[in-house]
Amino acid sequence: MPFETVIGLEVHAQLSTRSKIFCACSTAFGAVPNGNTCPVCTGMPGVLPVLNRKAVECTIRTALATSCAVQRKSVFARKNYFYPDLPKAYQISQYELPIALGGHVDIEVDGETKRIGITRIHMEEDAGKLVHEGEFAGAQASLADLNRCSVPLMEIVSEPDMRTPEEGGAYLRRLHDILVYLGVCDGNMEEGSFRCDANVSVRPVGQKAFGTKAELKNMNSFRNVEKALEYEIRRQVELIEDGGKVVQETRLWDANAGVTVSMRRKEEAHDYRYFPDPDLLPLIVDDSWVEELRKTIPELPAEKIARLERRYGIPRYDAGILASTRALADFFEASAAICGGNPKTTANECIHWKDAVLAGTLSPETIAHAVEDRERGTISATASKKLVELVLSTGKPFRTLRDEQGLTQISDTSALDILVDKILGASPKEVEGYRAGKVGLLSFFVGQVMKESRGKANPKVVQEVLKKKLGP
């Protein structure tokens, strides 16, 4: 029986604000435990929350960038449950009236574009961290660090529109890139600033109703999300084919074992008793604020990819890699603007030197000059690579180093004429062999010229000269 998969993804993104969402503590990573806390975020008696405007701006901008409808009025609600990393024993979140509804993200899988719906986006505060004292199994106690309490989070819930793990991965990557482009989140999955939970179910092809879904957690990379989904789909299909039923539960992805494991916690009906938080008034967002923020939305990944493809004639795949980081795309365009050569070469170079570009140790000029010189035949590809490495290590300009190192390639045909004549003169037997039909000997001649010129001859031009001299 053929099955169809239904996947929905929930992303929690930590917003890049300096201070927390409801108090003025720092959100900076790496402080001593409980060093970034105050009476408000540690839920002391009598304290009250005050909303961080920047967190709202980040969320509105995200909503605009994903074509959501920004709600002019949204309400903060208390989600009540007890846990040592939740100081007030409630999380301030949004429930019935979130700040944004009904958007989408367009993804590409196997050359096909697909639209993945976004159900809602809302704001909430993060909880702290619980570490286990000593060995987990025998741990007698847990230790609570409340630094992360009240760090602003944005929860983005997708429609269950994805049908394969690849689509899931594509959606996550695209959403991730949008958030990083906007500057609202640093997108670091390993450090937990971009978290993903998945809801996945299967159903026989043709069935309208969704199957029972399982919620997957603990996937700390895009690849792990895809792997977890692959495993879980297989597990559910096998279970059903064996006559079993999928149980609605939360399962943790175990990356080492490559399986999902049921949390098997006594499903104490999570009754969160949501109600509007009386300490916060409704969040009112007026049209002028939304329009002001709309102007700050940069060209987003999808648009950028299309434009790079169109404007520079580079393949979509390359455009995709360049656009994966705004800084890289900007660098490419800056480089292409300086360079008189083929943008595709520039693109390749930027992609090749991506790490250095993103580290900020390479200038667009360097790449532009490298591409130009190679296209003019002034230097060889090998020399180009060596020179860029030297630029990185010495900081000197590309062309200065090129001349210093004497890596200028000989492309001048008259100079090469002399070299070629020399080699051909020294290898009469091979010349005869070539003219007799052993065309493979061409590379032998090229090799000899390269050796004679100590690698400086432009191999392409050498080939042309050789062919001319050797004749048809």
Partner 1 sequence: MAITREEVLHVARLARLAMSDDEAGRLGGQLSAILDYVKQLDRLDTRDVVPTSHAVEKGTPMRDDVVEPFGDREAILANAPDRQSDFFRVPRIIED
Partner 2 sequence: MANVPVHEWTLLEAARRVREKEISSRELTGALLARIEALDPKVHAYITVLPEAAAAQAAACDEEQAKGALRGPFHGVPIGLKDIFCTRGVRTTCGSRILHDFIPPYDACVTEKVLAAGAVLTGKHNMDEFAMGSSTETSFFGPTRNPWDLSRIPGGSSGGTAAAVAAAMCFAGVGTDTGGSIRQPASLCGVVGVKPTYGRVSRYGMIAFASSLDQGGPITRTVADAAALLGVIAGYDRRDSTCVDIPVPDYLAAVERPVKGLRVGLPKEYYEGGGLSPEVRAALEKALKALTDQGAAVVEVSLPHTSFALSAYYLIAPAEASSNLARYDGVRYGYRAEGASGLIEMMSRTRAGGFGDEVKRRVMIGTYALSAGYYEAFYGKAQKVRTLIRDDFTKAFEAADVLLTPTAPTPAFRLGEKTDDPLTMYLSDIYTIPCNLAGIPGISVPCGFSAEGLPIGAQLLSKSFGEETLFAAAGAIERVLPLRRVAPLEG
Q: Note the residues at the interface with partner 1 (CB under 8 A).
A: 17-19, 24-26, 32-39, 42, 50-56, 75-76, 82, 84, 131-133, 139-146, 264-266, 268, 271, 273, 276, 278, 280-284
User: Which DSSP symbol is given to 265?
Assistant: -
Is residue 20 within the footprint of partner 2 (CB under 8 A)? Answer: no
Judged by CB under 8 A, which of 247, 261, 281, 426 binds partner 2? 281
CA angle 60, 62, 65 (to 5 degrees): 110
Is residue 78 within the footprint of partner 2 (CB under 8 A)? Answer: yes
> And the tokens for 85?
């990393």
User: Of partner 2, partner 1, none, which one does residue 45 interact with (CB within 5 to 8 Å by kind)?
Assistant: partner 2
Phi, psi torsion values for 220, nearest 5 degrees: -105, 20
Which 33-62 residues touch partner 2, going by CB under 8 A? 39, 42-51
User: Of partner 2, partner 1, none, which one does residue 137 interact with (CB within 5 to 8 Å by kind)?
Assistant: none
Q: How far is the CB of 119 from partner 2 (least distance, A)?
A: 21
Q: Which residue lies nearer to partner 1 by CB, 38 or 470?
A: 38
User: Which DSSP symbol is given to 219?
Assistant: E
CA angle 458, 459, 464 (to 5 degrees): 100
Q: Which residue lies nearer to partner 2 by CB, 210 or 274?
A: 274
Is residue 382 within the footprint of partner 2 (CB under 8 A)? Answer: no
Q: Are 289 and 60 in contact (CB under 8 A)?
A: yes
Q: What Rg do the C-alpha atoms of the chain give, in angstroms?
A: 30
Look at residues 347, 348, 350, 369 and name the one whose alpha carbon lies nearest to residue 358.
Answer: 350
Judged by CB under 8 A, which of 20, 61, 88, 326 binds partner 2? 88
Q: How far apart are CA 136 and CA 86, in angstroms?
A: 21
Which 163-192 residues touch partner 2, going by CB under 8 A? none
Q: How far apart are CA 71 and CA 68, in angstroms?
A: 9
Estimate to the nearest angstrom the gap between the alpha carbon of 165 and the chain centroid. 16
User: Of partner 1, partner 2, none, which one does residue 43 interact with (CB within 5 to 8 Å by kind)?
Assistant: partner 2
Q: How far is the CB of 89 from partner 2 (least distance, A)?
A: 3
Which 234-273 residues touch partner 2, going by CB under 8 A? 269, 271, 273
Is residue 98 within the footprint of partner 2 (CB under 8 A)? Answer: no
User: Of partner 2, partner 1, none, which one does residue 46 interact with (CB within 5 to 8 Å by kind)?
Assistant: partner 2
Q: How far apart are CA 379 and CA 366, in angstroms?
A: 14
Q: Which residue lies nearer to partner 1 by CB, 52 or 324?
A: 52
Give the alpha-carbon dihedral of 167, 173, 177, 179, to 10 degrees: 90
The label of the residue with tokens 């998945």 reads: 198
Residues that bind partner 2 (CB under 8 A): 39, 42-51, 78, 80, 82, 84, 87-90, 142, 144, 146, 269, 271, 273-275, 278-281
